Amino acid sequence: MKIESRLAQIGSIKEPVTGAVSFPVYQSTAFRHPRLGESTGFDYARTKSPTRTVLEEAAAELESGDAGFACSSGMAALTTVFSLFSQGDHLLVSLDLYGGTYRLLEKIMSRFGVTASYVDTNDIDGLSELCTPATKAILIETPTNPLMMITDIERVCAWAKSKGLLTIVDNTLLTPFFQRPIELGADIIVHSATKYLGGHNDVLAGLIVTKGAELSAQMAFLHNSLGAVLGPQDSWLLMRGMKTLALRMERHQANATAIANWLLKHEAIEDVYYPALPHHPGHDVQSRQSSGNTGIFSFRLKNAAYIEPILRHIKLIAFAESLGGVESLMTYPAVQTHADIPLEIRQKIGVDDRLLRFSVGIEHADDLIADLAQAFEAARRELGEA
């Protein structure tokens, strides 16, 4: 069955008693035992609940994994995954990294003796140089946030397996509709499901998908023990959002491609970072390992003075954090999503004071371009360039 059909049918044939097409929200935290030593399969909602189970099974199936785990946020998902590691363990991590992940590693996991090295994950020599006997895993963002760097997943997974390392891939930006890293050799997938999977800026959630019985059992233990699980109402909202993922991702991609090409021709723009563009580093790799492109990209202005007036004058596009929703959002990474990354690291990778990140929604592309055009023009007038 094609992925579009599998998405649309999430939960629709899972309720055998009433035949409800929309799977019910089971609010219960406790479940009656038929008799001593017997269970319905549900005992306590932190361990397992009916609505969350349907979501988790769908996530595993869509990502070609063996088990899924729904968490209370994307950061809760990462925290659960990082709990696989012990004092003295070392991780290799994508250089261009979401600021919240960097904060979790450097401010929290480091207190428990887990260390990380940040590296271009396409650089096998660099990975090998930093790999030590203490190294246990590699965490890949691809595309990265916000510079859209692309990692050859299959190549890095093969290298990691040769070293006995786990490969963890953050698949938030492409979703299983466009990219399925487990099919390329990854062991663990993580999502900030708040973003494209939920898709409506109305649910906070994270997902983990694992491959392999032993790893899945370890993750189930951690998921239950740590308890950062997703509640039933949010599980239902996430499933509802995922039903339209195929339609939304196609529209996000089409809009983002049109707007990125428009920005490339604008006199105020130095560059646009979007994997769909032929000049983008990693474009060929992205085309090979994915069936499409995300709806988010970044662009660098020639003059940092444009930033404030552009953000003040956009109207249809909202100046807000987050990404992946049906509404278009503009973010200033240097002071928002990546503020926790030290200045010298931000500057090294290119997250500077001239970079804006654009999460393109599903509005009409012409309206979004018109909004950008008037904001750019307003900035020009204020700066005396008009």
Catalytic residues: 46, 98, 170, 195
Q: What is the CA radius of gyration of the chain?
A: 21
For 71, 151, 198, the CA distances from 144, given in Å and listed in that order, are: 22, 9, 20
User: What is the Cα–Cα distance from 23 to 14, expressed in whole angstroms?
Assistant: 7
User: What is the Cα–Cα distance from 176 to 182, expressed in whole angstroms?
Assistant: 10
Q: CB within 8 A of 61, min separation 6: which ones?
A: 6
Tokens 């953050």 belong to which residue? 170
CB 267 within 8 A of CB 132: no
Tokens 């005992």 belong to which residue? 43
Kindly state the helix (H) or strand (E) to which residue 160 belongs, with its residue range.
Answer: helix 153-162
Q: How is residue 230 annotated by DSSP?
A: P
CB 148 within 8 A of CB 280: yes
Q: How many CB atoms lie within 10 A of CB 27?
A: 11
Q: CB within 8 A of 35, min separation 6: which ones?
A: none
Alpha-helical runs (H) found in the chain: 3-8, 50-62, 74-82, 99-103, 124-130, 153-162, 175-178, 213-226, 232-242, 245-264, 283-289, 307-313, 343-349, 365-382
